[in-house]
Structure 1
């Protein structure tokens, strides 16, 4: 096997075969049309195949899932015994996506995966765990629930632990639960920690969980890709909904993700847009798991052209074709802006982002421009056309407000009568709700 340095510096074009991957994996990569390894894969896979722990610093969309999945699957080919690897992910959607990639890459090997996340029945998950899957992909809270409550389930035979999107895991306060999980797994294991940023919290987690790791860093600077055209649209706060409707109308043939700061706005705007005739579907943390997966599936398949989402959808999710990202609310952190707009202009394709800027947002937009190192262009708008939309949008807004109140009242009555409902990874109730995205709680909570 060539050394990692030789693999990275050879003058010959680097291929997956030159990384010394086995034939079953090369066949799967060929079927998936993965022709050339990405930089994170080139840098990480040779070290991983030599048995080293890995710290990978790379942005979403860089190919890091395959960077940790391929070495795990190659080792599994040699030792196909019991529960082999556990991957911790910050969100349920990312967990399902990681599992799908493991199954696709391990298709010639018959790899078995189990996804263990909140919002799904514990009993069914316990049955899946009893079937001894090779790979468990989980959110930390639900995995810990099973470790404490599911008879016969443990991680004592684990050979690999992966902490994916580690900065996000810690931002979501999973640190104490991860500490509990670390105490119940073998010290003799390989550990891969992947993160978009190396914060002090991530560095502390690294010291606690990795042994003599190799650090692989693809990009140290947060930046947007050159194929992304970035615009802003200035408006009074009171007309924000009308300007959003104007954009949805003028971009009607495009696939669009609209990002909001709160669950309430994601639910409210999806109703407004659907009332106005736009095929919109919401995605936020107070939908049931089946609805969240259903919303993603409809958007990916083109059944719905507009996805109205909280930052739940801003990182990790691979949605191949998104033409436009609209920031209904400006994120307060510049890195969140970069994650959001990174949903479009992926893999060398072109894309657009449009950020709605009110009189209260000027300082935030200037801060983002400073971080990305470029000035956004003004998106052209027709003030008269926006004025014509205002009355219809206001009426749709009133209908949305009434529907939210009515659904919220119905859900409260249902719970009083002892209706169903589960808890999600953060301990919040996760009742089933309608496709329009009516949240159980009416407060303006985040995702």
Structure 2
């Protein structure tokens, strides 16, 4: 690595200078080689992290030197350990409560980050608290009163606690992490993050990790980082080499039929099917179940316990098919996903990158198949332009596929009736209770049990 400037001029100005790193070639580098202490090296080994990934190799030494870091890397590149290991090492050297805060765009990702940090920090006694929406505030207040070392949160719920939880503040904060920063800002968390930045110590280390450097992320960098080092592992939108990418072209009215055929062809493999809306996720899940395919839905309108439960059934292999909105597209590390199906092609090309990044992770291979109808041709062309490659057509026997149409039509009718019943009962429940199922709350301890349910025991 090259440090292009040794002085710290501009470290506390309004527009800090950013150093870019010249990447050194990897020659059997270990975690110990990049400065990680023995206790954490041992934890990495237990988790199967044999050698540092590129983003870890380039960013960890700078973070251990106390520098702010901007890490730009594609999905599945090991960003969580890249910021967790320096924080845990600094915590070991200077233990104090409420030492670090990690902000994530989704609740599921927050739980996953917490699990990784607790696993890496188990040997040094690191304690985490997860603070996200959809959960019981009182249980979270109790967890915060126990002074955890690291708070993993979504920005909205963190802001709620900063304003309303007596005795809670981040005055002792030494590290702030904004993970999936581009997604954080796409979800309009910007104003909440601005409010949080005003009440936390200026003398801190800040790590900003993102898949892309958007204009919003650049603005956030200027507002929150001092003399940062920029580690750019992926300079453009890209997908991993071991991912096989295909499309299937057919009329819009045949989408369900093609999905059923494809999942039957891939029977026994694990698949995530991405749809655009919560309603469509629910409809597809009902349709597939009516045809004997055990699919489980995951979307933002589900109560948090059901969202975690759905994830864990899929992670543990109890269900082979997960039907999801983009709530499942960012950051989630689900082992051994064989297939990603874009039932609805995403409107934004970068969302395609994140969706297909759920497969072909950690050196494994995987397949992604996008459904293209007469309405989606332009979206497909945009994606091909962004990733710099043409997708191949996935072979399908049209006559065999259309033979399924009659059974699919019947399953569609049943699914629509079930969907109407669900919507009707939900509407009645809302009137009776004055709030929807989405507001159902569970305790933090229950959620943590659920979130760990899919993890294999040694």
TM-score of the two chains, using structure 2 as the length reference: 0.89
User: What is the match of residue 441 of structure 1?
Assistant: none
Cα separation, 1, equivalents of 2:135 and 2:56: 33
* Number of corresponding residues: 425
User: What is the match of residue 211 of structure 1?
Assistant: 226
TM-score of the two chains, using structure 1 as the length reference: 0.92
- Residue in structure 1 matching 2:286, options 271, 288, 294: 271
SS at match of 1:86: strand
User: Counterparts of 1:36-435 in structure 2 under 5 Å?
Assistant: 36-418=51-433, 421=436, 429-431=438-440
8 Å contact kept, 1:322–1:344: yes
SS at match of 1:18: coil
Cα separation, 1, equivalents of 2:41 and 2:387: 37
Cα separation, 2, equivalents of 1:363 and 1:12: 43
SS at match of 1:19: coil
Q: CA deviation at 1:13?
A: 2.7
Describe the shift of the 1:157–1:395 C-alpha distance in structure 2 as closer, same or farther (beyond 3 A): same
Describe the shift of the 1:387–1:356 C-alpha distance in structure 2 as closer, same or farther (beyond 3 A): same
SS at match of 2:244: strand
- Residue in structure 2 matching 1:14, options 8, 29, 37: 29
8 Å contact kept, 2:426–2:436: no
8 Å contact kept, 2:345–2:371: yes
Cα separation, 2, equivalents of 1:29 and 1:374: 35
Q: Which runs of 5+ in 2 are unaligned?
A: 5-20, 442-458
Q: CA deviation at 1:11?
A: 7.7
Cα separation, 1, equivalents of 2:61 and 2:225: 18
Cα separation, 2, equivalents of 1:430 and 1:241: 31
Cα separation, 1, equivalents of 2:147 and 2:26: 44
8 Å contact kept, 2:429–2:436: no
8 Å contact kept, 1:24–1:109: yes
- What is the CA RMSD across the aligned residues, in angstroms? 1.8
1:385-435 CA distances to partner (integer Å, 9 max, x unpaired)?
A: 22221122122112221212211111221122226657xxxxxx5358xxx
Q: Which runs of 5+ in 1 are unaligned?
A: 423-428, 433-447
- Residue in structure 2 matching 1:31, options 46, 49, 59: 46
SS at match of 1:191: strand
1:150-200 CA distances to partner (integer Å, 9 max, x unpaired)?
A: 111111110100000110000000000001111110111111011111111
